[in-house]
Structure 1
């Protein structure tokens, strides 16, 4: 696919990113290619680092703009095309699909002048040489622009797959009257707005205060501070970067105080004419704990604002929040199912970690659910919440003091959008939850006044939200122990009828497959009946996530090669599984090597439907399971997603206290899928 922009600033990076993301769910061997690069290319760096593409950055472009200009100046235009095509073919030979991002240059570029081929004709020529279908991208809505884009390429012999009108007025209708699909993506300020770091780099500014999170804030507007404090405060808006001379201590303190008080959420402060603020002023501002960056630039206010207004942000590895916003916009407004159908790409039989993770996000978005995150002030939770909301993965409720959550989000520059903020201490639900908990625990002698205190705990409150139907699932554990997270679920949610014990699995994402390991987190030493329940729950979880369950009941013995109480427990559990689910492929007792390696299986258990092909591995006890998953995770470089709780009536999942933002996003997506099943 050849993504071609018609004009500057159309945002074809958003479309290219969305297409590569879509393909990553379908094929394992993806390529990206840019015919021309002017220098280090942020978009190409992003795509080659974010996705498991088959060619590295240095092999994923044709020629540099300087090389192209030299060839054109020498009258060697066909050689230029030939070099680009040759480089493209080298990428194409290694890939099932390639996304090509067209050139950025326009006529009159300083390196090539009018000698460079006209952009549209050049891109159409390359698309035809590559054998690519074209996705033209235009800026703004309207049928006329979309039709012009379609015919411009069709008239040059290119095959147009679809047309995308990007950066449209919100609510704009999709273009009509074309023989191919056309979609409109609205303008998303967070995508095009530069970050404070990008402003600092463009202006040659010196950062005198502010951590990396402060530099990652989006700059949505500029306000020049030249008037008195009241007038400037009237003009401050959310996302504004205040530009003022460094000697205006009154404005610096007033703006910082307005930000700290929550009157406005600023992007940062820029001090002009090279004037550093008085240290006493800096001390006051730091005590306000605004989390804002403060920059000093040498130019005056007029030239600073003029230069700042010309800064364009680009999607890059340094702007992960913009990447989330871009993907969210693409996925929300482009019919990806129709696009996939038109691409007619055969799904790979391999399941790579990225394919699996992207499939989680896709499935969660398709059946959007309401989830509660009890740890509403944790930085990782807030950053994950922003990513989830931007991608449209779930509707979120964050627990905690709303003022504190908002203060932390302002400090971090995190946008929580439509997230619902609930304080368990003051919530109108607290009385009802206390009565419900007292009723559930009356056999334990829990009185109403004690229940009233218990339910102010965020994990109990969140679990009761799930029980009451205010949320479809819960994810916690970033700064709580496993026991603190899942004990309320055992007391309130309880297990599915017919399942004696709740348990957990880890989804182990290896280089070319996904395996299910259970139970590695909850039950220390299950008996045979509990082990059978764990096996059946694990098989159901595997099927829930698109994996064909073939269950290996692990032991230190394969078949009848060994004896002992531990082997007998696994043999008894296997028999129970076979009796309860005769349709389920299960083998046990079996050793790990015989379960996963076809060569070993052929020797130890020839003819087995599971040996050498197992997808679900059930460990005999927690000691074995926990150590094995960690050994595989660290030694084989596997991604361990989980623990994923199973056997509960409604989904509640635990996070590792070392969970990353990505881990939290994956776990929330898993919980949403469980809730929808």
Structure 2
């Protein structure tokens, strides 16, 4: 769930969504990839609300991955992959515990709101999750409401995310039909689940407590009544006999602190059944009530909230306009009102049906890479890298060693490897890897003998076997053959033929497989595709193509990709003919 702009009322929608889900399963979690908090000791308001109200079985620390400040620092260091990696890691930890997770995007309230929106798009794409867009309807012009929604839909769909639905919150009731009609005309067919929630004065009105906190006000009276809501503000500059008839229900009166007559008359009006009840008094200029007035107030019961600020009246009135009202776990009235609005104006049955019908569009690239690393770390293997002097290989080795994913053996001269590391500025602790120069390795003679025994029937002699074993591709492949390594990764500087030739000669194919083939994992923007064979068999027969397709599909399954096989040639559809096309069709 993500908003199209700041202050769309996502708390109301998140309350409604979690309530809807809890009616189907108790195993519901909430997660925010990035939270915006002023200090480490403060909690995210939205998460805190959901955890406390629904009593979710979830620790607060498990509900988010980063603070906005941490993400900004990492992006300044050009480490976007680290940001997404931790988000996926924290999300996957929750996925193992819960049947459903509501993932809530960033607030879009900072100066870098465009960047925050991009993060939301990237997270939805990385997690492969459908997107519920929450938009603000608190605008006079319909186009101003619809345009951000259309832009957001385009942005998410361009990255392969599916739109679950759109909720326009805080709309003027008279605009509900025009907004709905405009969206239905302009939205694509797969984004037509639209809900419009009307504005609520109760939810939009801040409490005196929120106003006092925002302004840094001192509470003079009414400490126990600070949760009274202010449905508006009135600056009182008139005499008592003139302003009393202008009072409106539940407004907060703003007046300089030395206006004793206004202070007392306002409280009396609040107490009288002849005038509307008031939210309280906000005194300005830092001048509190006179001692005689305070003595009078001290002797009266049930004083409504009176708060005091140092700022001038005009400055205070300007600042109060930016006070935001929040739904908090201790405000049951607002929670009840929110759930009622959601139930009345959102077709929860349609959302549940849509959730069931949405089909995954393949595994997202970031999730694929995360799963790959997790599988490797869970079953740590020993990998030999024959091209130990290549900067790309050493950079990859540093990353793998840092994350403790595999055991690494580098083939090459240690001094050469150190020179490359220094030249490239790479940080690799060589004490955590094994470095072997083939001819100096203790197993060299044993490997030569083994190669001679395996290939003597093909006319190879001991001298030739010794020469071949100096080759890092032969040495690395023999490590795998002898069980001294679990696998070999090569091809950064060596050709495919050079890399595969030793394996053809003495490792051979898997039982039941007659054709050696390869696959590429292509991490596209929105999915991972497996291409086979692109490197080994240049002109396969129809039978070989079929076997390659089956082997590629089996490899895809091993890596968590559901195989759907397409046979490709250079010709699309019916446009071409000839031997190459017919072989694929056959």
Return the offset for 1:48. 1.4
Aligned equivalent of 1:72, options 72, 75, 94: 75
Query: Distance in 1 between the 2:233 and 2:167 partners?
Result: 30
Q: What is residue 19 of structure 1 aligned with on the other side? A: 17
How far apart are residue 154 of structure 1 and its match? 2.0
The alpha-carbon distance between structure 1 residues 108 and 147, as it changes in their structure 2 partners (threshold 3 A), is closer
Query: Does the CA contact (< 8 Å) of 1:256 and 1:285 recur in 2?
Result: no
Matched, 1:129 2:126: yes
Question: Taking structure 1 as reference, are residues 224 and 290 closer, same or farther at Cα in structure 2, changes over 3 Å only?
Answer: farther
Q: Deviations over 1:267-308 (max 9, x none)?
A: 111111222223543455566655511112122212211221
CA deviation vs aligned residue, 1:438-486 (integer Å, no higher than 9, x gap): xxxxxxxxxxxxxxxxxxxxxxxxxxxxxxxxxxxxxxxxxxxxxxxxx
Taking a change above 3 Å as real, the CA distance of residues 247 and 73 of structure 1, as seen in their structure-2 partners, is same
Contact 2:327 2:334 in 1 (8 A): yes
Partner in structure 1 of residue 499 of structure 2: none
Corresponding position of 1:472: none
Q: Give, in whole Å, the separation in 1 of the partners of 2:21 and 2:77.
A: 39
Q: 1:106 to 1:281 in 2, by over 3 A?
A: closer
* Partner in structure 2 of residue 422 of structure 1: none
Residues in 2 aligned to 1:107 and 1:311: alpha-carbon distance in whole angstroms: 16
Distance 1:287 1:336, change over 3 A: farther
Find the counterpart in structure 2 of residue 302 from structure 1. Answer: 314
Tell me the distance in 2 between the aligned counterparts of 1:242 and 1:322: 23
For 2:100 and 2:240, locate their aligned partners in 1 and report how far apart those are by CA, in whole Å: 57
Shift of 1:250: 1.1
Number of the residue aligned with 2:64:
61
Given the two structures, how large is their TM-score scaled by the length of structure 2? 0.54
1:176-235: per-residue Cα shift (whole Å, max 9, x none)? 4243310100111221221101111111212121142x1001112111122222332244
- Are 1:267 and 2:285 matched, yes or no? no
Distance 2:85 2:109 in 1: 21
Change (3 A) 1:106 1:250: closer
Query: Which residue does 1:81 correspond to in 2?
Result: 84
> 1:107: Cα distance to partner?
6.4
Q: From the CA coordinates, give the structure whose radius of gyration is larger.
A: 2
2:230 matched to which residue of 1?
Answer: 219
**RMSD over aligned Cα atoms:** 2.2
Contact 1:106/1:118 (<8 A) preserved = no
- Residue 23 of structure 1 deviates from its aligned partner by 0.9
Kindly report which structure 2 residues correspond to 1:558-577, keeping only aligned pairs within 5 A, or say none.
Answer: none
Partner of 1:559: none
Q: Is the 8 A contact 1:136 1:163 kept in 2?
A: yes
State the alpha-carbon separation in 2 of the partners of residues 139 and 191 from structure 1.
14
Q: Which runs of 5+ in 1 are unaligned?
A: 110-115, 346-677
Q: 1:53 Cα deviation (Å)?
A: 2.5
Query: Aligned pair count?
Result: 336
Cα distance change on mapping 1:325 and 1:81 into 2, 3 Å: same
2:49 is the alignment partner of 1:49: no
Distance in structure 2 (CA, Å) of the matches to 1:204 and 1:108 = 23
The question of whether the paired residues in 1 share the 8 Å contact of 2:108 and 2:117 is answered with no
Distance 1:188 1:285 in 2: 34
1-side partners of 2:259 and 2:123: how far apart? 55
1:195 aligns with 2:198: no
Q: In 1, are the aligned partners of 2:5 and 2:108 still within 8 Å (CA)?
A: no
Q: Deviations over 1:548-590 (max 9, x none)?
A: xxxxxxxxxxxxxxxxxxxxxxxxxxxxxxxxxxxxxxxxxxx
* TM-score, structure 1 as length reference: 0.47
Q: 2:241 aligned to 217, 230, 236, which one?
A: 230
Q: Structure 2, unaligned stretches of length 5 or more?
A: 38-42, 358-586
User: Are 1:292 and 2:328 counterparts?
Assistant: no
Question: Which residue pairs with 1:363 in the alignment?
Answer: none
Instruction: Determine helix, strand or coil for the equivalent of 1:162.
Output: strand
